[in-house]
Amino acid sequence: KGRNVVLEKKFGSPVITNDGVTIAKEIELEDAFENMGAKLVAEVASKTNDVAGDGTTTATVLAQAMIREGLKNVTA
């Protein structure tokens, strides 16, 4: 069982959820490149949820590991 998170909305009441896909979709970062990475991982979680209905945490961890290893190869 995951932790609950309060999401602030631009209009209306805040939303309380523990759904990882919903939380990932709401993440917005100021830095354009960091935000691009966050949106990529959110898309991974969303697609995994659409196809399998579960496993979003595993997919997110795997995506993060692949991105980290890819960046190691690019900067080497």
Per-residue model confidence (pLDDT) at position 54: 85
User: Is 66 domain-assigned?
Assistant: yes
Answer whether 6's CB lies under 8 Å from 14's CB.
yes
User: Is 18 domain-assigned?
Assistant: no
Give the whole-angstrom CA distance, residue 33 versus residue 43: 15
User: Is 51 domain-assigned?
Assistant: yes
* pLDDT, tens only, 8-58: 988 899 999 988 888 988 999 999 999 999 999 999 999 999 999 888 889
Domain that holds residue 28: 24-75
Phi, psi values for residue 29, rounded to 5°: -105, 150
User: Is 19 domain-assigned?
Assistant: no
Entry pTM: 0.76
Three-state DSSP class for residue 76 = coil
Per-residue model confidence (pLDDT) at position 20: 85
Tally of structural domains, the chain = 1
Three-state DSSP class for residue 72 = helix
